[in-house]
Structure 1
Amino acid sequence: MTAYTGQKLLDALDSKGLGDWQGLPDCIGARFLTGDFATGLDLVARIGERAEEAGHHPDVTLTFPHVDIRLTSHDTGAVTERDLNLAGQISQLAASAGVEADPSVPALLELGLDTANKEAIAPFWAALLTGDASNVSGPDVTDPAGQMPLLWFQDCEEHEVPHQRLHVDVSVPAAVAPERIKAAVDAGGTIVDESQAPSFTVLSDADGNRACVCTLAGRS
């Protein structure tokens, strides 16, 4: 099955007239401006029926003013003809319901971390973000629950830890926080500051990159 990536994906979207859709890393995305919840719910139901018929299922986010759709073939890790075909059908369903798309919206957040010690810090970040230090695949930390953005590691030379201007806050239920902190420490992290726990606890990976495990407990 042909995998569409990069410019090849953009060319395929253009050649098939899929102007509602944008190419993103490993997927295609679209936002449909339903304008109200009932219209969005009806569109999602129709998309669900078509997806069941095709045996291929999108990721769908329903909000009051719009519906976001993402399509990818997980067995190939890329967009395939199945996704392009279903995208066309979804656009037809939206058009028949009088719903327009906003092609300027689809975007995808990924986090890249420079390191010369991927093997040392990847388990820490997997444990911190997902609760399981084994959720590392190739250069990426992956979240089976789909709650966290993709984190990947960029090779670089060893360097002193610079002043950190950006850090990661991971908010979890208060009952989960001790378990998440322990998982991160067991995976090679250290606790830097727990004076504000349980509101937040500052941790560090083996490279010195800091992150906080946060809860609502103890906050005003």
Structure 2
Amino acid sequence: MVELSRAEASAAAPGWRYLLGRLHLTTEWADFGEAASFVAVVAELAGALDHHPEVDLRGNRVHLAVGTHEVGAVTSRDVTLANRVSVLVHERGGHPVPTALTEVEIAIDTMDATAILPFWKAVLDYAEDGDDALIDPQRIGPPVWFQQLHEPRDVRNRIHLDVTVAHDVAERRIATALASGGRLVSDANAPAFTVLADADGNEACVCTWQGRD
């Protein structure tokens, strides 16, 4: 089982998109029945590989995510399953929908994460994910991470949203946000992340895997 870099993972499974340490695929089907039938076949395929992908079935859409939790990254085992699922999608007439993929993180700026992380862990009933982050054990709610400040920031909201999208969707997402009344705060770290703000100054970072390896 080989751990892959972000770029390697993105290139190794055409049709899938790399977001926040996992490969994602959303597919659309003719109706709920076909979508559910696809999920059942994926379950058989994953079982044969001793893999446990995350599956979300809603209406005629199926969202899949694969990653190796033991190492917190995408591995060769994940890529094997992803590519076999891609063949299955083609054979059964499904349609990938990469523009439907979005992962949201809540980022809390703080001078001392150890002082506030326990509160958020308790109130959300989340689990610790390293020293500076929390994660929903059910993978339903957005993860929360704590960004270290070097000096107090009392005049600005300390919470912003990290919105992670497929790398080939980011420019369109940013353009749409700007056209909808947003403003560009900084693109100094693009394409890893671009900081935007609404008219009141509330911020959101549009993020991709690119520029992070």
With the length of structure 1 as denominator, give the TM-score of the two structures.
Answer: 0.67
Alpha-carbon distance change, 167 to 76 in structure 1, aligned in 2, over 3 angstroms:
closer
Quote the sequence identity (%): 30
Aligned equivalent of 2:27: 32
Match of 1:114 among 109, 114, 119: 109
Displacement of 1:117 in angstroms is 1.1
Q: Secondary structure at the match of 2:98?
A: coil
Aligned equivalent of 2:149: 156
Match of 2:94 among 99, 119, 137: 99
Alpha-carbon distance change, 140 to 107 in structure 1, aligned in 2, over 3 angstroms:
same
| Mapped pair 1:45 → 2:40 | yes
Displacement of 1:144 in angstroms is 1.6
Aligned equivalent of 2:140: 147
Aligned partner letter, 2:7? Q
| Mapped pair 1:70 → 2:65 | yes
Aligned residues: 161
**2:109–2:158 Cα contact (<8 Å) kept:** no
**1:72–1:79 Cα contact (<8 Å) kept:** yes
Match of 2:75 among 69, 74, 80: 80
Aligned partner letter, 1:151? V
**1:35–1:66 Cα contact (<8 Å) kept:** no
Instruction: Give the Cα separation in 1 of the matches to 2:56 and 2:89.
Output: 15
Aligned equivalent of 2:120: 125
Alignment of 1:126-205 (within 5 A): 126-130=121-125, 135=128, 137-159=130-152, 161-162=154-155, 164=157
**1:129–1:148 Cα contact (<8 Å) kept:** no
Q: Please, what is the CA RMSD of the aligned residues?
A: 2.1
Displacement of 1:112 in angstroms is 1.3
Give structure 2 stretches of 5+ with no counterpart: 162-213
Instruction: Give the Cα separation in 2 of the matches to 1:94 and 1:30.
Output: 10
C-alpha distance after superposition, 1:143-196 (max 9, x if no partner): 22323211111111342533649699xxxxxxxxxxxxxxxxxxxxxxxxxxxx
Alpha-carbon distance change, 11 to 35 in structure 1, aligned in 2, over 3 angstroms:
same
Aligned partner letter, 2:98? P
Q: Secondary structure at the match of 2:139?
A: coil
Which fold has the larger relative contact order, with Cα–Cα distance below 8 Å and residues 6 or more apart in sequence?
Answer: 2
Aligned partner letter, 1:8? E
Give structure 1 stretches of 5+ with no counterpart: 169-220
Alpha-carbon distance change, 161 to 64 in structure 1, aligned in 2, over 3 angstroms:
same
Instruction: Give the Cα separation in 1 of the matches to 2:158 and 2:110.
Output: 16
Alpha-carbon distance change, 167 to 105 in structure 1, aligned in 2, over 3 angstroms:
closer
Instruction: Give the Cα separation in 2 of the matches to 1:135 and 1:107.
Output: 22
Aligned equivalent of 2:11: 11
Aligned partner letter, 2:30? G
**1:115–1:158 Cα contact (<8 Å) kept:** no
Alpha-carbon distance change, 33 to 123 in structure 1, aligned in 2, over 3 angstroms:
same
**2:3–2:75 Cα contact (<8 Å) kept:** yes
Instruction: Give the Cα separation in 2 of the matches to 1:128 and 1:41.
Output: 34
Instruction: Give the Cα separation in 1 of the matches to 2:113 and 2:159.
Output: 19
Displacement of 1:97 in angstroms is 1.1
